[in-house]
Amino acid sequence: MSLLKFSARRVVSRLGGELKFPASKRLKICIGMARPSSNMADFREAFAKAKHVAIITGAGVSAESGVPTFRGAGGYWRKWQAQDLATPLAFAKNASRVWEFYHYRREVMLSKHPNPAHLAISECEARLGKQGRRVVVITQNIDELHRKAGTKNLLEIHGSLFKTRCTSCGNVAENYKSPICPALAGKGAPEPEIQDARIPIENLPRCEEKGCSGLLRPHVVWFGENLDPDLLEEVDRELALCDLCLVVGTSSVVYPAAMFAPQVSARGVPVAEFNMETTPATDRFRFHFQGPCGATLPVALARHETETVS
């Protein structure tokens, strides 16, 4: 079993969900590490040689498309932050409120579009694929903007806003209905002064599998829940094979994804971070490019002069 696989399984099985590096971990990451390079020409040389590129993306990519992150100051829906609503306990206590929150997020996402960073990744995947090279995207985002952009090799480790899971039979299904059920029409406004009148549970989204009609929940990983072990196996295989890794728009503090790129770097593979600011893991990487991903990625992933034209 690889180190990555062992570590990811241990963290997820013990702690689950989304967790952050302790301060002591952040300190250790920075000690004894050389500052990463911001030389785009050097990165482009590594990119030209790469046969298997892994791209790890986080909320920063989607933020440039106007997607609310619900993190940090101001990241509230009504008077709650995501960690108040995105839990099994919150759903058990008030499924109506949780569904209003996710209905709002679904409706917002239906109006959003991929930005130049999403499109650069998708174009790169298609182009390199014709050259016998592989690009895989491992995303923490649940908004499906990578799919909208055309990315094919996509591992959505936190699930999707547009999938549901039945709490009775466990069936997972795509669902792009707007609204997802009649009772949620016109619901979900984020203004803090709104008092949420509870929707009867029987009127919330229900399973359409024959003979079921169980209560549906969003098919996303909530705080305190484990990531899909089969999906983690796929992530592990991709990262074990990659010879170049990009970390795009992620804070590098959320487990288990925070471990992915540092462990790739530890085996000598070039890792390039693209972000608006440095992160606790920056000094473990070979490259760091600061600024909007929509500006830096199209340059980084453009056709290299040594690429064969097909």
Q: Report in angstroms the alpha-carbon separations of 121 from 56, 63, 127.
A: 11, 16, 10
Q: What is the edge-to-edge ordering of all strands in the sheet holding 216-220?
A: 172-174, 159-166, 216-220
Neighbours of 150 (CB within 10 A): 14
Residue 46, marked binder: no
Residue 75, marked binder: yes
Residue 143, marked binder: yes
Residue 141, marked binder: yes
CA 16 to chain centre: 16
- The strand pair at 80-81 and 76-77 is best described as antiparallel
103 three-state secondary structure? helix
Residue 234, marked binder: no
Any bridge partners for residue 54, and if so which? Answer: 136, 245
Residue 250, marked binder: yes
Residue 80, marked binder: no
- Which residue out of 158, 219, 288, 304 is catalytically annotated? 158
Distance CA 251, CA 257 (A): 10
Residue 65, marked binder: yes
Residue 245, marked binder: no
Residue 158 annotated in active site: yes
Q: Which residue numbers belong to the known binding site for NAD(+)?
A: 58-77, 140-143, 249-251, 275-277, 293
Q: Which residue numbers belong to the known binding site for substrate?
A: 102, 105
| Active-site annotation, residues | 158
Q: Which residue numbers belong to the known binding site for Zn(2+)?
A: 166, 169, 207, 212
